[in-house]
């Protein structure tokens, strides 16, 4: 694993990134979307990279967070904190239910059921009038996080950006802590050697369920902020676009790299925002990136970069273990 850079360097980098959209001339919209979707991708990252299972239901957690926010804000007039709690709760409950159902399933059957759950969730969102049906929920008020005397509102992308940035920092910290935690270590063990894990007294099913449920709040929190950013929530959240985007973000740069999903999301959204060729070609590029990252570039872009560097430089013994990418 890459060693964590000195706290000071991290602080400087964080400040630079925070100020970057302003310097670039008001790109707050793109940066906010990148941060939000990266947070959603980190939820999936934990399951794919650490647990070694491919969940295709993280768009459901993402959409559940967005829908809970939209419904609470428009129907009940709830403020930002209440909708955040509602979004997290919605994500957690759905993950718990799905996690219990899929407890005994592994590999492709697990993915199959999670994918089926996504398609069914989309059908429900399209047809259930309580959720707004095909029209979705529009007219979501602006985000208001005021608490007591403190006034905190975000009416546009420039004001949402600090919140998205903060959410991203919190997510990065949480993912880093997770990977250093006991649960994170157990997840890796369950991933790489389930038999050894069982022999070591680890309850494999319990770890799997815990990690799966733990991953949901990330995606749900992203959905929460996304609902405010778009001011609209609809069944389009279940489209494969978000699913493929999250998967690409997770695998493009290299699995189990702390900044991988963030960079991956930035590359994809950056291409769509600043180098767009229209929706259809963008879809081909996104799908193609996913295919190339996995089929042609083992270890993702990070692995490619390392191999190029290793070829140029005289061979230095790499102390790095590459087991994590060889899932």
Partner 1 sequence: MNLVQQLINGIVLGHAYALIAVGWTVLLGVARLVNFGHGQIYMLAAFVTWWAVAGLGLPYPLAILVAMLAGVLIGLVMQAAMLRLTFRQDLVAIMIVTLGFGHMMRGIAGLVFGGQPQVLETPLSYIDFEIAGAWVTAQDLAVILVSIAAFALLHFGLERGTLGRTARMVAEDPKLAQLAGINVSRVYFAVFAFEGAAVALAAALVAPRTPILTSIGFEEVIVTFVVVVLGGIGSVSGSYLAGLGLGVFTALFGGFVSPAYATTAAFGVLIVVLVLRPSGLALRAGGR
Residue whose pair of structure tokens reads 């769509």 in the numeric block: 272
Task: Give strand ranges (E) for the chain.
Answer: 137-138, 143-144, 153-154, 232-233
Binding span for partner 1 by CB under 8 A among 13-21, 64-72, 114-122, 162-170: 114-122
> Residue length, the chain?
327
Instruction: Specify which residues 233 forms β-bridges with.
Output: 137
**Crossing angle of helices 157-180/182-192, nearest 10°?**
70
Cα–Cα distances in Å, from 286 out to 100, 255, 289? 32, 18, 5
- Number of helical (H) and strand (E) elements in the chain, helices listed first: 13, 4
Question: Hey, which residues between 253 and 282 contact partner 1 (CB under 8 A)?
Answer: 279-282
Smallest separation (angstroms) from partner 1 to the CB of 104: 4
Judged by CB, which is closer to partner 1: 87, or 187? Answer: 187
Rounded Cα–Cα distance for residues 143 and 59 (Å): 22
Should residue 108 be labelled a site residue for partner 1 when binding is judged by CB under 8 A? yes
- Per-residue tokens: 20: 């970057």
Smallest separation (angstroms) from partner 1 to the CB of 155: 34
Count of residues that bind partner 1 according to CB under 8 A? 48
Q: Which of 85, 209, 258, 294 binds partner 1 (CB under 8 A)?
A: 294
Binding span for partner 1 by CB under 8 A among 3-11, 122-130, 221-229, 267-275: 122-130
Should residue 284 be labelled a site residue for partner 1 when binding is judged by CB under 8 A? yes
Smallest separation (angstroms) from partner 1 to the CB of 128: 9
Judged by CB, which is closer to partner 1: 81, or 277? Answer: 277
Should residue 122 be labelled a site residue for partner 1 when binding is judged by CB under 8 A? yes
User: Among candidates 227, 12, 242, which has minimal Cα distance to 137?
Assistant: 227
Instruction: Specify which residues 189 forms β-bridges with.
Output: none
Q: Which of 15, 16, 19, 123 binds partner 1 (CB under 8 A)?
A: 123
Distance of CA 267 to the CA centre of its chain: 14
Q: Which of 24, 127, 138, 147 binds partner 1 (CB under 8 A)?
A: 127
* 23: Cβ contacts below 8 Å, ≥ 6 apart: none
* Count of CA atoms in the C-beta half-sphere (13 A) of 92: 10
Smallest separation (angstroms) from partner 1 to the CB of 59: 12
Q: Which of 120, 155, 170, 305 binds partner 1 (CB under 8 A)?
A: 120
Judged by CB, which is closer to partner 1: 86, or 99? Answer: 99
User: Where do contacts with partner 1 occur on this chain (CB under 8 A)?
Assistant: 52-54, 56, 101-102, 104-105, 107-109, 111-113, 115-117, 119-120, 122-124, 126-127, 240-241, 243-244, 247-248, 251, 279-291, 294-296, 327
């Amino acid at each position: 694993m890459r060693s964590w850079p000195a706290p000071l360097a991290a602080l400087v980098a964080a400040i630079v990134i925070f100020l970057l959209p302003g310097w670039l001339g008001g790109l707050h919209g793109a940066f906010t979307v990148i941060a939000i979707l990266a947070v959603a991708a980190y939820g999936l990252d934990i399951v794919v990279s650490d647990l070694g299972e491919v969940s295709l239901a993280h768009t459901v957690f993402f959409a559940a967070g967005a829908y809970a926010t939209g419904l609470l804000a428009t129907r009940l007039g709830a403020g930002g904190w209440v909708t955040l709690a509602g979004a997290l709760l919605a994500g957690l409950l759905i993950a718990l239910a799905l996690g219990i159902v899929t407890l005994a399933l592994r590999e492709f059957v697990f993915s199959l059921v999670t994918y089926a759950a996504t398609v069914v969730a989309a059908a429900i969102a399209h047809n259930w009038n309580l959720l707004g049906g095909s029209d979705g929920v529009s007219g979501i008020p602006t985000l208001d996080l005021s608490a007591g005397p403190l006034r905190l509102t975000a009416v546009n992308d420039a004001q949402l950006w600090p919140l998205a940035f903060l959410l991203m920092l919190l997510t990065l910290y949480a993912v880093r802590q997770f990977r250093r935690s006991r649960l994170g270590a157990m997840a890796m063990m369950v991933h790489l050697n389930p038999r050894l894990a069982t022999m070591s007294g680890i309850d494999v099913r319990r770890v799997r369920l815990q990690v799966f449920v733990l991953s949901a709040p990330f995606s749900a929190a992203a959905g929460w902020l996304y609902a405010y950013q778009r001011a609209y929530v609809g069944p389009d959240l279940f489209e494969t676009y978000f699913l493929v985007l999250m998967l690409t973000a997770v695998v493009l740069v290299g699995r189990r790299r702390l900044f991988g999903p963030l960079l991956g999301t930035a590359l994809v959204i950056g291409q769509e925002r600043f180098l767009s060729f229209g929706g259809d070609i963008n879809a081909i590029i996104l799908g193609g990136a996913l295919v190339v990252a996995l089929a042609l570039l083992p270890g993702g872009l990070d692995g490619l970069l390392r191999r190029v560097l290793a070829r140029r430089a005289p061979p230095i013994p790499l102390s790095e273990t590459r087991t994590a990418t060889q899932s």
